[in-house]
Every structure is written in C-alpha cells, then in structure tokens.
Structure 1
Amino acid sequence: MGTQFGHIYRQLTFKPKPLPLGIRLDGQTAIVTGAGNGSLGLEAAKELAAHGLARLILAVRNTAATNAEAAKQQILEQSSPEPVACDVQIWEVDYESFESMAAFATRARAELDRLDVVILSAGVKKLEFVRTKTGHESNIQVNHLGTAYLSLLLLPSLRQTARQTGRKSRLTIVASEVHFWTPFSERSAPLILQRLDEKSSFGEKGDMERYNTSKLLNVLWMRELSSQVSPASASVSSGKSPVTINAVNPGFCTSALHRSHVMPGQAFINHVLAWTPTQGGYCLTNAACGHHDRQGAYISEQEVKPTSSFVTSAEGEKSQKRLWDETVTLFQDVDRSFDLKYLLGS
C-alpha cells in the first residue's frame, strides 16, 4: 500500500462500485463541500440524493456562478434508481475565509433541523506558491485549515442529530494516497504551520510536494479529531462517539482538481489509469454511508486500509499532536468565539 507501483496496479485492477440499492437515506440531511461541476463532491451528492436523501446542501465558493445552479439541476434531473425528490440548496462557503466558514456553520445550526452526513471534499492542488488572503499558503489554507475548521464547526449539528435519532452521524474527510509520498520535513521545524507558510519551504520540494503534504495533514487531523470527540452527549450504544469520523482516498480521477496540473501525455495517462468522477464519487459515498463500526479509519478502494507507516509511527503520533495544538491555537486567534470544549462535546 502506498507505493507508486501499487497505486498504478490498483488503478488498473479495481473499479469503485456504487452504493447498494438497499441503502436508504430517507429523511436525512447531508452537506457536501466542493460540489461544483466536474468534482467528486458533485458526483457523491448525486448518489446521496438518489438514495432518498431529504435535503442536500451543496457548499460552493460562489453561489452566483452558473455552474452551481447547473450542478443542482444535474442532481434533480437524474432518475436512477428512482426520480429524485430532494430539497437541494446551494450555500456559499469560502475555505479561504474563516468568517465565511463560521457563517456557514452558524447557518447550518440555525436552519437545519438535522444534519446526518457531512463530506468535506473541497480542495485545491496548487503547484506554485500562492499566499491566500488569510496569509497562509493556498494548499495548507484550503486543504488543511479550511477542512479542519469546518470539521470542528459542524460537529455540534452532527452530534445533536445523533442524539435525536439514536444513530451515528457521519463526517468524512477527503484525503489521498499521496499522503504516503511526502517526507514531511516541516515536522522538524519549531512550528509546523509557520514553516509551511514560508515560501522557501515550498521551493525546496517538487511541485506536487506541498499538495501531498496537505493530504497527509488531512489524515493526521482526522485521526486526532476522531480521538478527541466526546461520547458523553449522545444516546448511542456502547458509549462510543456519536459521530463516525473517517478519511477517504478517492483514487486518481479525472476531476476538476487537476486542472492546474497538466503533464505531457496527460490525456493518455487519464485514459489508461484514471477513474471517472462518478467512480471517485462512489468512493466518497461508500466512506460516508458504510464502515459504521470504524472510527478514525483511512478508507481506500472502498475498504479500511493502513495509513502510511509514518502516520502510525511514534514520530507521526508526535506530529499529529503538534499539528492539532498548532491548528487549534490558530483558530482561537482568528475566532474569539471559538470554544473547543463545546465543539467537541466535552
């Protein structure tokens, strides 16, 4: 698992499968971020709606964009396995704005009477150093900080629904197999996030290195978050957490994520190796609707798989704790109302 050869082999030999028809989401509400045209998020949203979902929030950066409305229409117009009768809403959320994400979560608490499923699929792959308006490097701001912030802010709504229904809610973070492929040298810096925001650290690596690192941060964050959530406030069995939190590798797919990374022979590589966006969406929905008994798991090829050896090493666990502490401190600095104990249910 995690080698380049193994990656190619799995891309060639495994094909993701849709959810079984017997899985029903009647009455449930889901949020999917990064659900624009050509995205795995949109394909996952389509499948969720087709399984009886009552309400679907498509979280996009620009609600005024024509492709956001087109995405909504694609969901409503599908007819398999049955005509879709889902309340599809388009909400704005900008992963490059902590204020936007906080407003999004506040709206969710105010307007949604329940929240059963969250898929955090928004992401970027920037091959050149770009500093966002928050001051952080783009891959780190969107893929790690944005994902981490929303994962915390939406926990109370997920937890409340678990309490009401007696059934676990689901939080799925979209990671990647590329988390195996980074040395993550920034872990030796006094402050990991500060070092990742320095242009010199970006320039020391190949173009893909920072994206790969951001996906490793997704896995580390997911593992620590899943260990931090409190079971005390939900009526679920065995005293387990009321929210199942996992990460998923959707594989290499021909999605809009790769629009800034075009290599010679890309069309041929895509034809031979890449899965379709629909197949990538199947991986997301499998993680969000299956594996109910697993917490803090890494799901790849629609099965629970080992993470990289670094993640489970003593050094990885140390980095995981440091990343958690640095990230939470950052959130406390940018949001005076940030209450970690409330968000975790402790």
Structure 2
Amino acid sequence: MHGDTPGYLPKFIYGQLFTRLPKPTRSFAGRTVIITGSDSGLGFEAARHILKLRAAKLIMAVPSTRKGQKAKSLLIKTTRCKPSVIEVWPLDLSSYDSVKAFSARATTELDRIDVLLQNASVSSHDWSIAEDNEQMITVNVVSTILLAFLLLPKLRETANKHSTRPNLTFVVSDAHMFIDFPEKDAPEGIFNHLKDKSKAKMNDRYALSKMIEIFAVREMTELRPREEYPVTINMLNPGLCESDLVREGGNLQMKMLKKALARTTEEGSRTLVHGASAGADTHSHYLSNCQVCPTASLVHGPEGAVVQKRLWNELMAKLEMIQAGVTGKL
C-alpha cells in the first residue's frame, strides 16, 4: 500500500458509486472561457455544458486544430450555439513555444478571459522526452503552470475592467492519494531526478505529476491569498471517468476497475464546470465530488510544506529559463 491508500480507498469507491454530482446550472452569460484539451473527453463535455449555459465565447485550446474543428461542429450541432461563439486555437503543451504563442494571442485578441480551465493532461507508461523533461512532467506540470502565469495578467485585467472574479481552475487527480514521493529528497534536485530514465517509476508518473501540480497550485494561492487577489484559483479531481486519458495502459486491473467504478465522461465533466464556476470560497482548495476535500496527507502535512517550497523554487527557476520575468506575472 502506498500514500493514503488504506484510508482513502473506501472513500474513493463510495464516491464513485454513490455520489450524485449536481448538473451545472450557473450561467456563463457574457463570459469568455478557455478550455485546454476540449476536443474530446472531459474537456469536450465541459465545453458542451458551458455552451448550454450561454458562454459568450469559448476558446478550444487543442493540439490538433483538425480534430478541434470536428469537435466544434459537433458542439454547434448539439448545443445550437452560434458558430461564432466557438474558436479553435492550437495549443501543444509539449512545446513551450506553443504555450507562449497561445498566451500572446489570447492576451492580444481577447477582450477578456473569465475562465481558464486547465484540463489537458497526458498519461503514458512509455518514456518520452518533451522539451527538458519527461513528457508528463512537461505537459502536466511545467507547461500548465507556465500557461497560468502568462494568462493571469489578463484574468486580473478582466476582474478590474468588468468588476467580476475570473476562475483559474486546474484539473488534477485523486491518483496522488495512492503514491509515495521518494523523489522529493533527491540530492540532485527533484526535476533533475525525474528526467533520469534509469530512475523513473513510470507506473506512478502520472499520479506524481498531478501531485506536483497540486503542490504548485497550493503555493500559488499561499502567495496570493483570496482576500488580496481578484482571481479564484482552485483545483479539482474529476474521479475515475471514461475518458481518452490512458492512465494505466493495458493494465487489466485498471480496466476491471474502470468497468466497475468509472463515471461517464458527462458526469465527470460536471466537476470541471463546478470548479470553473465556483466562488471565492474555493480559492486555494482541492475539490472532489464538487466539494472541498483534503489532499493527501503528504501534501497538507508538516513535511508537505518543505517539499512544496523546494518544488516551487525549482519550478520557478525552470520557468525563468523558459521566459525571463514570467514568474513576476503571478
């Protein structure tokens, strides 16, 4: 058993089988929403809900604009929104240049950003490098936080200009409850350790990338508390869902677990829309089953504070290498 597995497992099973997630009802009228990875899976279903709730503009941020255009056509057909409401923009989180180009375009072309829903993730059992890290670390952590930093000035501008409170929402995972984090003590640095193929535990890598993302969001919100900041920054766990994210590859155990416990993609997407429309009281919080819940004990316990600072300092150094001055945008 790893992490919080013994205590958390019954809660996980109960949540999957017996929790009825509320259908989204809060209006997005007049709002501009960006959803990463919205051409399929949870992001696509969240987009469908948000369009039905009358969003003024939806930016589908996707690696393949061809796939994105097909998804857009389906969204128009099923929500009957005006075609002009949806725009498909390229965003490849495995490329820092793509993240920078997308952010520059959004800052320049969009009058406002009310929601940045960071849904896109990658999961794989195969080792591959993207930019300066193993792929899951680049996509799920570094590029995701980079995109947040680059677009936060626009979110703050929207808050001030339109007297509203935008949401920056990260889709994380309760998979972080089921792992330990021995890499946290690596003398060569956590990120340096994680890009060493010979030391990689790929079975845990997706869950670990999500734990690191959780640490980063916690530190962001500790530095920018709710009372002093005009943007609600929160994170959510959608639970185990039928989606395009291959979490365990050909693992028979995971396939059986999904068959027995997985939510539909639409049900899971309700958690995304809930987080993206939740109020200031969710700032800094981890949401699960559309409620504020505790993270793994390693994250919120006394040791977590030390790990969080170490990770944050390493991550800030990486971001400054990618774009000088970017960490000042928080």
TM normalised by structure 2 equals 0.93
For residues 23 and 135 of structure 2, the distance between their equivalents in structure 1, rounded to whole angstroms, comes to: 32
Report the residue type matching 2:109 in the other structure. Answer: E
Match of residue 208, structure 2, among 210, 213, 218: 213
For residues 288 and 189 of structure 1, the distance between their equivalents in structure 2, rounded to whole angstroms, comes to: 35
Q: Deviations over 1:122-163 (max 9, x none)?
A: 10111122112x131011111111111111111011110000
For residues 215 and 90 of structure 1, the distance between their equivalents in structure 2, rounded to whole angstroms, comes to: 26
CA contact (8 A) 2:124 2:246 kept: no
Look up the match of 1:318.
306
User: CA 1:304/1:317 → structure 2, altered by over 3 Å: closer, same or farther?
Assistant: same
SS at match of 2:193: helix
For residues 118 and 290 of structure 2, the distance between their equivalents in structure 1, rounded to whole angstroms, comes to: 17
User: CA 1:146/1:4 → structure 2, altered by over 3 Å: closer, same or farther?
Assistant: same
1:224 paired to 2:219 = yes
For residues 127 and 288 of structure 2, the distance between their equivalents in structure 1, rounded to whole angstroms, comes to: 29
**Residue 96 (structure 1) shift:** 1.1
Report the residue type matching 2:22 in the other structure. Answer: K
1:9 paired to 2:29 = no
For residues 315 and 291 of structure 1, the distance between their equivalents in structure 2, rounded to whole angstroms, comes to: 29
Q: Which has the higher helix share?
A: 2
Report the residue type matching 1:11 in the other structure. Answer: Q
For residues 149 and 117 of structure 2, the distance between their equivalents in structure 1, rounded to whole angstroms, comes to: 13
SS at match of 1:221: helix
**Residue 230 (structure 1) shift:** 7.5
CA contact (8 A) 1:15 1:275 kept: no
Please give the residue correspondences for 1:65-104 in structure 2 after superposition, counting only pairs within 5 Å: 65=66, 67-79=67-79, 83-85=80-82, 87-104=85-102
Match of residue 185, structure 1, among 163, 182, 198: 182
Look up the match of 2:126.
128
Match of residue 39, structure 2, among 28, 36, 41: 36
For residues 189 and 266 of structure 1, the distance between their equivalents in structure 2, rounded to whole angstroms, comes to: 30
1:51 paired to 2:61 = no
User: CA 1:29/1:185 → structure 2, altered by over 3 Å: closer, same or farther?
Assistant: same
**Residue 17 (structure 1) shift:** 2.4
**Residue 278 (structure 1) shift:** 0.8
1:327 paired to 2:325 = no
**Residue 265 (structure 1) shift:** 6.6
CA contact (8 A) 1:60 1:92 kept: yes
For residues 28 and 329 of structure 1, the distance between their equivalents in structure 2, rounded to whole angstroms, comes to: 34
**Residue 260 (structure 1) shift:** 6.4
Look up the match of 2:246.
258
Look up the match of 1:145.
142
Q: Once structures 1 and 2 are overlaid, which stretch shifts more, 115-124 or 250-259?
A: 250-259
Report the residue type matching 1:8 in the other structure. Answer: I
**Residue 6 (structure 1) shift:** 2.4
**Residue 315 (structure 1) shift:** 1.5
SS at match of 1:248: strand
CA contact (8 A) 2:124 2:247 kept: no
Look up the match of 2:116.
118
Percent of paired sites with the same residue: 33
Report the residue type matching 1:52 in the other structure. Answer: R
Q: Deviations over 1:269-321 (max 9, x none)?
A: 43321011111111100011124322110000000001111111221111111
For residues 279 and 218 of structure 1, the distance between their equivalents in structure 2, rounded to whole angstroms, comes to: 23
For residues 197 and 264 of structure 1, the distance between their equivalents in structure 2, rounded to whole angstroms, comes to: 28
For residues 223 and 76 of structure 2, the distance between their equivalents in structure 1, rounded to whole angstroms, comes to: 37
Look up the match of 2:28.
25
User: CA 1:24/1:310 → structure 2, altered by over 3 Å: closer, same or farther?
Assistant: same
Q: Which runs of 5+ in 2 are unaligned?
A: none
For residues 326 and 259 of structure 2, the distance between their equivalents in structure 1, rounded to whole angstroms, comes to: 48
Q: Which runs of 5+ in 1 are unaligned?
A: 232-238
TM normalised by structure 1 equals 0.89
Report the residue type matching 2:49 in the other structure. Answer: E
**Residue 180 (structure 1) shift:** 1.2
Report the residue type matching 2:293 in the other structure. Answer: K
CA contact (8 A) 1:250 1:281 kept: yes
**Residue 266 (structure 1) shift:** 5.9
Look up the match of 2:286.
298
